[in-house]
Structure 1
Amino acid sequence: MRTTIYFVRHAHTEYTPDELGRPLSVRGKKDAERVAELLKNKNISVVLSSPYMRAVETVAGVAKAIGTEIKTIEGFRERLLSGQSVDDFSTAIQKVWKDEEFAWEGGESNKDAQARGVAALNHVLDIYKGETIAIGTHGNIMAIIMNHFSEEYGFEFWNNLEMPDIYKLSFEGLELAEVQRVWSRS
């Protein structure tokens, strides 16, 4: 029995330090409307999301189009890179991708974030077996989860994601059978 997951990386935001409450930008809201248009006829029966506002807002139109509520799942929240601001984000993120067990003070290693994300995904695959699910999430945790199934979803993959971005993952049980990119800016 095939289960389909549409991982939806959140649309564009204007940066604020409020991770939980950061909303979409004007551009992000327009792109979220496109996400809803792209996904409304994909037989989605469940809409899940990270609890972060930008992820919820990105899939809200999908939930509205199919007449359902969004259920938030903590396991799909963005990885915590560090407990405080980092001076050089690029260097900090490269370091955690190079060493999956390394964590900045107060942050999550890729290994720990992956364990959290994959556990959430496995739970979803178990509960919603055979269904089609949209999941609003974040670039880093999405790439880290996908990296669990194939090393091709590593740092370069994450670095080339768009805001938003959509990947369709097809599963046979807990085994990843197929990946297809759905989003296109054009």
Structure 2
Amino acid sequence: MNTCIYFVRHAHSVYTPEELERPLSEKGARDAIRVTALLKDKNIDAVCSSPYKRAVETVEGTASIHKLKIDIYEDMKERTLSREPVEDFSQAIGKVWREPHFSFPGGESNLQAQKRGVRCFLNMLDKYAGKSVAVGTHGNIMVLIMNHFDDRYNLDFWKGLEMPDIYKMTFDGKVLVEVERVWE
């Protein structure tokens, strides 16, 4: 039996320097309602999330409608790009994708973040084998995990993501069978 992971990139949030408690914006809250509507008929067996408030808020409606609690996974949090704010975010993201071993001071390289995310994701595939799971997460870590299974998921793919966005990944064991975009 296949395992289906609905990767849910969080909706738009209000910028605050504190990553953990950054809430959804008004638009983000409206879009989270759309996420719930899109996932309500998907027979979701479990809902997981990054510990970041914006990711939790994006999937809490899905958990509520399916009468599930949200399991928090620390390693689904967004990658740390740098300890200090970077001057040019686009340039910095481009650099870490072009140079997978490179990291800014206090940040994670693509390889470090990918290893963390994939380890967590593989544990989810074991724990929820044969089930359908919604996972609230973040764009960069989501694409790094997807890239582990298929290198078509890269910087250009990340640049095309919406906020929120939903991708259904279907697995036979730990083998990726299909990826389908669910967000409309």
TM-score by length of 2: 0.99
Displacement after TM superposition at 1:90 (Å): 0.9
Structure 1 letter corresponding to 2:179:
V
Structure 2 letter corresponding to 1:154:
N
Structure 1 letter corresponding to 2:80:
L
Q: Secondary structure at the match of 1:140?
A: helix
Displacement after TM superposition at 1:9 (Å): 0.1
Structure 2 residue aligned with 1:46: 46
Displacement after TM superposition at 1:177 (Å): 0.6
Alignment partners' CA distance in 2, 1:169 and 1:61 = 21
Alignment partners' CA distance in 1, 2:133 and 2:155 = 25
Alignment partners' CA distance in 2, 1:150 and 1:66 = 30
Structure 1 residue aligned with 2:108: 108
Displacement after TM superposition at 1:75 (Å): 1.2
Alignment partners' CA distance in 2, 1:89 and 1:59 = 27
Displacement after TM superposition at 1:16 (Å): 1.1
Number of matched residues? Answer: 184
Structure 2 residue aligned with 1:159: 159
Structure 2 residue aligned with 1:32: 32
Structure 1 letter corresponding to 2:43:
N
Structure 2 residue aligned with 1:175: 175
Structure 2 residue aligned with 1:89: 89
Would you say 1:145 and 2:145 are equivalent positions? yes
Structure 1 residue aligned with 2:6: 6
Displacement after TM superposition at 1:15 (Å): 1.3
For structure 1, the 5+ residue unaligned runs are none
Alignment partners' CA distance in 2, 1:158 and 1:6 = 16
Would you say 1:62 and 2:62 are equivalent positions? yes
Displacement after TM superposition at 1:174 (Å): 0.7
Q: Secondary structure at the match of 2:80?
A: coil
Structure 1 residue aligned with 2:23: 23
Q: Secondary structure at the match of 1:171?
A: strand
Deviations 1:20-69 (A, max 9, x none): 00000000000000000100110101000000000000000000000011
Displacement after TM superposition at 1:144 (Å): 0.5
Structure 2 residue aligned with 1:121: 121
Alignment partners' CA distance in 1, 2:168 and 2:107 = 29
Structure 1 letter corresponding to 2:42:
K
Deviations 1:83-118 (A, max 9, x none): 111111111110000011110000000001000111
Structure 1 letter corresponding to 2:146:
M
Q: Secondary structure at the match of 1:114?
A: helix
Alignment partners' CA distance in 2, 1:128 and 1:85 = 37
Q: Secondary structure at the match of 1:71?
A: strand
Structure 2 residue aligned with 1:132: 132
Structure 1 letter corresponding to 2:50:
S
Q: Secondary structure at the match of 2:93?
A: helix
For structure 2, the 5+ residue unaligned runs are none
Displacement after TM superposition at 1:7 (Å): 0.1
Q: Secondary structure at the match of 2:47?
A: strand
